[in-house]
Structure 1
Amino acid sequence: MSFLHRNLTQIWDQLRSKKNQSQDFLEEIRIEKLRGIRDLRVPFSFPVSVIAGPNGSGKSTVLFACACAYRPPNKAWGIVPSKLFPNLQTQGSTSPSDKSAGTVFEYYYLSHGIKTRMRWAKGKTWNKSFLGKREGVQPERHTYIRTLSNLTNPSEVRSILQMGKSTFTQEELTADLIAFAHRILPVRYRGLTLLKRRDNKDLLFAVRDNDEESYSEFHMSAGERAILRISKDISQLSDGLVLIDEVEAGLHPMTQQQMMLELQRLALRNNLQIIVTTHSSVVIESVPHDARIFLDRTDNNVIIQTPYRDIIQKALYGRSLNKLSILCEDDVAEGVIMGVLDVLNPRIGIAPDDITVGRDTGKDQFGQHIEALAKFQTLDSFVFILDGDARNLENSLRSVGTRHGHAISLLFLPSDQSPEVWLWSILTAKCDNYASLLGTTAEDLQKNVQLIDQIYSGASDKPTNINKNKLGTLAEGLNRTVPQIARIIAAGESQSHKGEMKVFVDELSDAIIAWRNRY
């Protein structure tokens, strides 16, 4: 584990503890009838949330709707939906116009430790209500929203360039702001100055270490400008909601990861809730699984997908790098597959690093994964391997691929039962074959297997669970893990060249060779 990743996992634990003590938190937003969203609920369970998904899946829509949740402290109005979701109205009944009647935003908050709700509804105008409370009040909270991908447009440039001809104030920015930027950017600043006009337009000037000349943000890289702007705006913000669209814009992957670490540190230190959108796998991986929100568009709605496992996520967000990805159900299945690959890879000339095995996804989720991968045209780089007891899903899963114009590579582990049942049957029959490989004698292994069978003889659970417990008991006695035992047995059976294992080895070999021929 890298030093940066250790820092991330440590901050995740601290943020979870902080969340349990929060008095103000946007817990969920519901959107109806807007931009192809029929009815979408988005929950937020972690102080720093990342919203991901394909183009057009509604990421920015959700983010901008969140911006209308609060009003600033001691002010009557905050950001209203009409500002972020304006409609174009044209003259004439036949001219095209935007129509969004019936749009609804519902918010579910924790406000001052009390659960409350609010609704924005669009009729002729936008109106607030409080879901049954006559004297409800919109919760107060500082809200910051920024779109990093929006570079300064020409009219804004011309306007700001006039600052030299008008009256402005000069403000030296604080050490906290500079420190925030230093922890993210590879450059070091001796000073940062902000020029401000009466109309609230401003311009940053920077002086780097070992450089006497200052330079404005017009001469900064997109990434440098984005970091300094965020630093200026939120490094001293407390108890607020921070919304950043396309947080990775203009940033190197390492800078993206460092920025996400600093944003989470800032959330912890300043009691912030931060929600960002992204297309970057680096940003996604910078928050825990419960902070990742994956949106996807269906024919008539936008939905939240089950958080993709790492192998799916990397394929969708550009980290697969021409590797073959194998997706299976759990760590026992992974152990079986790795054992087969230990034998198969040298035989067909495949380097171990060419293949990635991913797991921890239920068999019922495979259809969703196939749908998602089809949209990104990455199905040809995947082999799907289900447990032997999931053969009843074959036709439905293949039909998902066919619907998207793909004949998916779908295999099943040996036997028509779970890998746990299969492994235990092999151990029971072949103690002599595997005793030395497991670090014991054939006599001791046979005694242990028989004793464990006796212990579980009266168990009334499913065969899969019973055999899983049997393997766990044996593994503990051998000072090994169940996946390690699975790998040893699968490697041994792969060399037998007969039975169900031979069929599986041949099918997997054909799938790997077909992938290699494509690439």
Structure 2
Amino acid sequence: MEVQGFRAVDSLRLDFNSPITAFSGLNGTGKSTLAQLSACAYRKPTTAAVRRYYVKDFFPVSAADPGPFTTDAKIACAYEVQGAALEPQKVTVIRASKEWSGYKRQPERACYALGFTQFIPQVERRDFSIYGGHLITLGAARDLDEPVSEIIVGILSLPYEKLGFIEVTHSARTAELATATRSGRSYSENHMGFGEGRVVYIVTAMETAPAQSLFILEEPETSLHGDAQERLGRYLVDVAARRGHQILMTTHSAAILGQLSTDSIAYLRRRPVDGQVEVTPGLATYQVDAYLRGDRAPGSRALCTEDSFARQFVTAIMRKCDRDMIAGIRFVEAGGHDQVRQSVRILQEGGLKAVGITDGDCNDIGQHGVQSLPGGQPPEKVVFNDDAVLRHFANKHSLDVRAHLAGVGDHHKYAETLARRLGLDAAVVATFAWDAYVTARPASDFDSLLHFIRSELA
């Protein structure tokens, strides 16, 4: 799907790589915009009693909001249609004059947009079933099938004996209320909690909808405690596979994201240079959680190195090849190669994800979560004897590195020695050196090291 000219999202291409796509990110990055536009991507099937969504349903033009989109706004979608040719079916919906056009060429599919109004406690809606409660009449009741009830019981961990719906009427108004029996007492949704009611309605919709429907969920974790969020996440994976649904949702829940594959997570953020929204697919849950928590995130994964110089090397590689790898990692300077191995073991025994990176002369090959840096020597010798680094200091700082380090026997003091000559901190000199070293090499040189770190911390 390509989106252009909408609030929060001016220009963005989104590829769907999984039956479930979870949009996550800070507030105001366009999660709801993308989800809502996705709901408008299909025509209503002639055989299904479902609602058909239009762009105007989510982006109304009014005196208060005369321009929620630009004059050249569009939504271009490519569909893998069963039984069609190899090329995807492509349809673009654009704003023509005062109306949107292109809907008629869309394929048919049952779509369900389950936002926050999917369940709002009736007492907050001033519903007639409460404020005219003494005047309503009850109609036909229907019990949920046992497998559906068992799913709801499993998510909420509540011992329901029966779940269903009942018709209620007052004057010319008719509605349907969810009902439950628990511990021998029966009650309607008028006495359900917000999270409880939402799960009942969401699960019922997903289990009774036509197979291969599209579901749009707005923060399904709302009002659910952590364990229930995890169980709901597992259910969404199950129902997508079992019934062939495609599920798009907005969420800030690490508990739900933790149940999904990285192909299912689309992290949205604004570029600092131009303010445009970009999508980063494939982040691990701990990385998304670190971004959402900002500076308060302590890091749920640990990466141990011998010292600060080795840590700077690893982070320089990450900045060049995959800047998102840094998010959610707590860096530990252990003090030596034996201490790195011991730190990893202790952290892993404590139930944490941890990985160790020893210096290149240690010959660790990935066993027990520890691998050595490339180069076969201490990292200080590798970097400060590298031609790209030597040229950098000669050109940028008029400094002959080999001459100044010729009499330094301890490689741990290389950066400190050069720092004194340049009037800089040793950490700054080390950063200059590693950046020059990493920049001069293709990213493929570091594939093995980064793959090891990713696999250990996944």
Asked if Structure 1 and Structure 2 have the same fold, meaning a TM-score greater than 0.5 normalized by the shorter chain, the answer is yes
Q: Distance in 2 between matches of 1:359 and 1:182?
A: 46
Q: Distance in 2 between matches of 1:37 and 1:140?
A: 26
Question: Does the CA-based 8 Å contact 2:20-2:264 persist in structure 1?
Answer: yes
Of all paired residues, the percent bearing the same amino acid is 20
For residues 50-96 of structure 1, the C-alpha deviation after alignment (integer angstroms, 9 at most, x for no partner) is 11011011101111101111122216982111112212236xxxxx6
For residues 237-289 of structure 1, the C-alpha deviation after alignment (integer angstroms, 9 at most, x for no partner) is 22211110112111112211111111111111111111111011222222111
Q: Which amino acid aligns with 2:234?
A: L
Q: Distance in 1 between matches of 2:316 and 2:41?
A: 36
Residue 247 of structure 1: aligned partner: 220
Q: Distance in 2 between matches of 1:502 and 1:359?
A: 19
Cα distance change of structure 1 residues 196 and 102 upon mapping to structure 2, 3 Å threshold: farther
Q: Distance in 1 between matches of 2:79 and 2:63?
A: 34
Question: Aligned to 1:498, which of 407, 410, 414?
Answer: 410
Residue 113 of structure 2: aligned partner: 145
Residue 54 of structure 2: aligned partner: 80
1:112 aligns with 2:24: no
The TM-score, its normalising length taken from structure 2, stands at 0.65
Question: Aligned to 1:56, which of 4, 8, 28?
Answer: 28
Question: Aligned to 2:248, which of 275, 280, 294?
Answer: 275
Cα distance change of structure 1 residues 196 and 118 upon mapping to structure 2, 3 Å threshold: farther
Cα distance change of structure 1 residues 310 and 260 upon mapping to structure 2, 3 Å threshold: closer
Judge which range, 80-89 or 60-69, deviates more: 80-89
The TM-score, its normalising length taken from structure 1, stands at 0.58
Q: Which amino acid aligns with 1:338?
A: T
Residue 171 of structure 1: aligned partner: 142
The CA deviation at 1:216 is: 2.1
1:314 aligns with 2:284: no
For residues 348-378 of structure 1, the C-alpha deviation after alignment (integer angstroms, 9 at most, x for no partner) is xxxxxxx9xx9897433566788xx7xxxx9
**In structure 2, the residue corresponding to 1:204 is in which secondary structure?**
strand
For residues 428-486 of structure 1, the C-alpha deviation after alignment (integer angstroms, 9 at most, x for no partner) is xxxxxxxxxxxxxxxxxxxxxxxxxxxxxxxxxxxxxxxxxxx69xx49xxx5793456
Q: Which amino acid aligns with 2:31?
A: K
How many pairs were matched up? 355
Q: Distance in 1 between matches of 2:163 and 2:369?
A: 57
1:156 aligns with 2:125: yes
Q: Gaps spanning 5+ residues in structure 1: where?
A: 1-28, 91-95, 131-135, 328-333, 345-354, 386-418, 428-470, 509-519
Question: Aligned to 1:364, which of 304, 312, 320?
Answer: 320
**In structure 2, the residue corresponding to 1:201 is in which secondary structure?**
strand
Q: Which amino acid aligns with 1:140?
A: E
Question: Does the CA-based 8 Å contact 2:141-2:166 persist in structure 1?
Answer: yes
Residue 102 of structure 1: aligned partner: 72
**In structure 2, the residue corresponding to 1:52 is in which secondary structure?**
strand
Q: Distance in 2 between matches of 1:83 and 1:97?
A: 15
**In structure 1, the residue corresponding to 2:94 is in which secondary structure?**
strand
Cα distance change of structure 1 residues 481 and 83 upon mapping to structure 2, 3 Å threshold: same
Q: Distance in 1 between matches of 2:378 and 2:94?
A: 60
Judge which range, 148-157 or 36-45, deviates more: 148-157
Q: Distance in 1 between matches of 2:317 and 2:53?
A: 40
Q: Which residues of 2 match residues 180-329 of structure 1 at below 5 A?
A: 180-197=151-168, 201-208=175-182, 211-237=183-209, 238-298=211-271, 299-305=274-280, 307-309=282-284, 311-318=286-293, 323=298
**In structure 1, the residue corresponding to 2:185 is in which secondary structure?**
coil
Question: Does the CA-based 8 Å contact 1:180-1:235 persist in structure 2?
Answer: no
**In structure 1, the residue corresponding to 2:14 is in which secondary structure?**
strand
Cα distance change of structure 1 residues 203 and 319 upon mapping to structure 2, 3 Å threshold: farther
Cα distance change of structure 1 residues 80 and 53 upon mapping to structure 2, 3 Å threshold: same
The CA deviation at 1:296 is: 1.2
Residue 338 of structure 1: aligned partner: 305
Cα distance change of structure 1 residues 178 and 75 upon mapping to structure 2, 3 Å threshold: closer
The CA deviation at 1:311 is: 4.9
Question: Does the CA-based 8 Å contact 1:184-1:259 persist in structure 2?
Answer: yes
**In structure 2, the residue corresponding to 1:183 is in which secondary structure?**
helix
1:483 aligns with 2:361: no
Q: Distance in 1 between matches of 2:185 and 2:241?
A: 36
1:66 aligns with 2:38: yes
The CA deviation at 1:37 is: 1.9
Cα distance change of structure 1 residues 172 and 120 upon mapping to structure 2, 3 Å threshold: same
The CA deviation at 1:499 is: 1.9
Q: Which amino acid aligns with 1:206?
A: A
Q: Distance in 1 between matches of 2:56 and 2:213?
A: 22
For residues 155-180 of structure 1, the C-alpha deviation after alignment (integer angstroms, 9 at most, x for no partner) is 63333323663454322222122011
Question: Does the CA-based 8 Å contact 2:265-2:281 persist in structure 1?
Answer: no
